[in-house]
């Protein structure tokens, strides 16, 4: 599945009929001029019901150097 939000690179949805879980992913380079730094990874996980979003969590972490 393509990302639902344009700021994310990729996304997946799992649906059981009444609820759905959406997982979206993106990463970006944190390096600056003359400084090499690890990439930042961002995951967004949403639990949706027919009425809207029940819960939403975002997880960020740097890749190990």
Average pLDDT of every residue of the chain: 90
Segment 7-32, tens digit of pLDDT: 888 899 999 888 999 999 999 999 99
CA distance 54 to 56: 7
CB atoms closer than 10 angstroms to residue 24 = 21
List the chain domain ranges: 10-62
CA–CA separation, 12 and 33 (whole Å): 34
Model pTM score: 0.78
* The token pair that represents 11 in the structure block: 């996304």
Which secondary-structure segment (H or E) carries 54? Answer: strand 52-62
Degrees (nearest 5) of the Cα angle 14, 16, 17?
120
């Amino acid at each position: 599945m393509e990302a639902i939000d344009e700021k994310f690179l990729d996304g997946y949805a799992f649906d059981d009929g009444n609820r759905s879980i959406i997982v979206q992913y993106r990463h970006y380079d944190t390096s600056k001029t003359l400084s090499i730094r690890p990439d930042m990874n961002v995951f967004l996980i949403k639990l949706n019901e027919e009425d809207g979003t029940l819960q939403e969590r975002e997880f960020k972490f740097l890749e190990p150097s």
